[in-house]
Amino acid sequence: MDDDKRKEVLRMISYGVYVLTSKNGHDYGSATVTWVSQASFNPPMISVCLKKNSGVYLLVKERME
């Protein structure tokens, strides 16, 4: 991703409510999240807080392993 596009995308993150979705195999999950923040510019990363016992957290965790 070129620097200008990365800046444009990361600047689009505003305060509000977001929908996070995840898929692992045939399992799908989604959650509304309110804590989203830019974590790094290079590489482009965001951070999201999820409740540990939520279904979407488990899907994301399994997907990362």
Handedness of CA 58, 51, 48, 23 (dihedral sign): positive
How far, in Å, are 26, 29, 54, 57 from residue 8 at the CA level? 33, 28, 31, 28
Write down the mean pLDDT value for the chain.
Answer: 87
CATH fold of 3-64: Pnp Oxidase; Chain A (2.30.110)
Structural element, H or E, at residue 3: helix 3-11
Q: Which residue has the tokens 């045939």?
A: 26
C-alpha to C-alpha distance for 52 and 57, rounded to whole angstroms:
6
pTM of the model: 0.62
> What pLDDT score was predicted for residue 48?
92
